[in-house]
Structure 1
Amino acid sequence: EMTDVANAAYDGADAILLRSETAHGQFVEKAVANVAAILRDAEVGVDHYSQFNTIRNFTPKPMATLEAMASSAVKAAIDMGAVMMCIVTNTVAPIRAVTKYRPSQVVVVCTTQQHVAKQCNLYYGTVPLLLPSTRMNLGQIRDKVVEYGRKQGLAAFSTGDAHGDQLIMFTGPQSGLFVTDEELPEMEFVTMIVGDELSEIMASKGY
């Protein structure tokens, strides 16, 4: 049973479904807790960079705009060592596109739509953040994400530790950050540094 759960993580499953004895037995909560613990341990052994390259290499070319932007956002998160990703959307398509590439970072999905938030439970590594209004600018959304990440223990976002924590945000155009189906080709991603420690990030690491 343990290896079945672990192999689900190695095979890139989005979710684990408990059935038969584990779903109807006397210790359902303990079963869920054990499955979660196994998945956390198994994820440590996943080579996310190799997984990303394999998925990208087998994706048909030329890519659609959304596909290209989603894969680029995940690649940036890998290369920059980002601590978290964020998708600002009122449709499921960009969530599906980003999680396809199995980022190692937690992906916070900011949305004003309850049905989108609920569907996050079925996509790899996503956590929904339901916001009350679309009338928010990028800085306001970032602050909400950082606050939520700290409260939930998803990322430290510590200041004064000589390390700037980087956040990758995948959003709609500035005219409408909460992307809809019609705006998918206009999506863009930005990198944001939380904290004042820019020198460590900006320092040249070339030869």
Structure 2
Amino acid sequence: MSWFSKTLSSSIGRKFLVAITGLFLISFLVVHLVGNLQLFKDDGGNAFNVYSHFMGTNPIIRTMEFVLVAGFLLHIYEALVLTRRNQSVRPVAYAYNRPQDNSNWSSRNMGLLGTVILVFLIIHLWNFFVPARFGGLEGVVVDNVHYDNLYQKVVQSFHIWWYVLIYVLAQIALGYHLYHGFQSAFQTLGLNHKKYTPAIQMFGAFFSVVVPAVFAAMPLYFFIKDVVLS
């Protein structure tokens, strides 16, 4: 085994991979959020459908989808390996153990939070990504160009109370996951400085609240507007 593979298979190397893939997935969240803000435009979904068509047909974006899937799988796998390794090192808990005294709740439940997010992603992809890529959507014409009406699918889904509930709960889990993961990634990469670390932690806390909140606002917006107030 080469020094490179030995390094990546060590605990430090695996933490490095979790950190790198985590920051990569965070960048995807930002891009995904900015694109989905088209849902709030009062144009009958035209802007969102044009955006969705671009994301589904642009060759660079389609190539990056494979990179994104690889990033997800690697992040999940390395996190699972680290968790199992930590459990094997300490198979029996201490007689006196108060983890809440030196760690926050999110850091102690990253596995649970990640599982909730993973289940949501599977449901979310099945509901939106599969129809968008493999057919099953009605068509719509925007400026004399035919597009798949993914906006209609989004609105229909966000009229279902249990799907809205799952979506919002998943965003809460995402917020807690980001709260620990963001600052932990920088710490793992050795980017600690008495001057900059507090700013990173503050931005991480801000990011972990705002991004999931805006995502959660999307289903709540349509459900309240079209179902509750109609």
TM-score in terms of structure 1 length: 0.30
Higher fraction of helix: 2
Larger Rg: 2
Q: Which has the higher contact order (CA 8 A, sep 6+)?
A: 2
Higher fraction of strand: 1
